[in-house]
Structure 1
Amino acid sequence: MTDMDRTDRLAAFPISFFSVVMGLAGLTIAWEKAEAVLGLPPVSATLLWLTAALFGLLAVAYLMKLVSRRAAVVAELHHPIKLSFFPAVSISLLLLAVATLHRQPALSEGLWLAGAALHLGFTVYVLGAWINHTHFEIQHMNPSWFIPVVGNIIVPVAGVAHGYPETSWFFFSIGLLFWLVLLVIVFYRVIFHPPLPGKLVPTFFILIAPPAVGFIAYLKLGGELDAFARVLYYAGLFLTLLLFTQVGRFAKLRFFLSWWAYSFPMAAITIATFVLYERLGGPLLRPLSVLLLTLLTLIIAGLLGRTALAMARGEICVEE
Structure 2
Amino acid sequence: MNQQVQLSHSSKLAYFPISFFAMIMGMSGLTLAWEKAHHVLGAPNWVGQMLLGLTLCLFTVVSGSYVMKLFTQRQAVRAELEHPVKLSFFPTISISLLLLSAALLPVSRPLSLLLWASGAVLHLLFTLYVLTQWIHHPKFQIAHSTPAWFIPIVGNVIVPIAGVEHGFMEISWFFFSIGILFWLILKALILNRVIFHDPLPEKLLPTLFIFIAPPAVGFVSYTKLTGGLDPMGQILFNVAMFLVLLLVTQFPRFSKIRFYISWWAYSFPLAAASVASQVMYTATGNAVFGYLAYALLALVTGVILLLLVLTLKAVLNDEVCQPEG
TM-score calculated relative to the size of structure 2: 0.97
Selected match of 2:151 from 147, 152, 156: 147
Residues 163-203 of structure 1 show CA distances to partners (whole Å, capped at 9, x for unaligned) of 11000011001100110010000110011101000000000
Matches within 5 A, 1:219-298: 219-298=223-302
CA drift of 1:285 comes to 1.1
Q: Runs of 4 or more off by more than 4 Å in structure 1? A: none
1:39 corresponds to: 42
- Structure 2: how far apart are the matches of 1:83 and 1:121? 13
Q: CA deviation at 1:231?
A: 0.3
CA offsets per residue over residues 201-240 of structure 1, 9 Å max, x none?
0000000000000001001112531110000000000000
Equivalent in the alignment of 1:122: 126
1:92 positional shift: 0.3
Q: What are the equivalent positions in structure 2 for 1:1-320 lying under 5 Å apart?
A: 2-42=5-45, 43-320=47-324
C-alpha deviation, 1:287, in angstroms: 1.1
Q: Distance in 2 between matches of 1:39 and 1:245?
A: 29
2:226 aligns to what SS in structure 1?
coil
Note the residue ranges of structure 1 that are not aligned, 5 or more in a row. Answer: none
Contact 2:281 2:287 survives alignment (8 Å): no
In the TM superposition, what is the alpha-carbon distance from 1:38 to its structure 2 partner? 1.6
Deviation readout 1:21-57 (Å, 9 max, x if unpaired): 0000000000000011121112101100110111111
Answer yes or no: is the 8 Å Cα contact 2:271–2:300 preserved in 1. Answer: yes
SS class of match (2:229)? coil
In the alignment, is the contact (CA less than 8 A) between 1:150 and 1:178 conserved in 2? no
Q: Structure 1 CA distance, aligned partners of 2:105 and 2:170?
A: 19
Separation in 2 of the partners of 1:69 and 1:103?
36
Matched residues in 2 for 1:98 and 1:37: separation? 17
Distance 1:244 1:140 in 2: 25
Q: Does the Cα contact within 8 Å between 2:228 and 2:283 map onto a contact in 1?
A: no
* TM superposition shift of 1:103: 1.7
Cα shift at 1:150: 2.4
How many Å apart are 1:134 and its aligned residue? 1.4
2:234 and 2:57 mapped to 1: Cα distance? Answer: 36
Residue 286 of structure 2 aligns to a residue whose secondary structure is coil
SS at match of 1:195: coil
Any idea what SS the aligned residue of 1:162 has? coil
2: CA distance, partners of 1:93 / 1:81: 22
Do the aligned residues in 2 keep the contact of 1:260 with 1:303 (CA within 8 Å)? yes
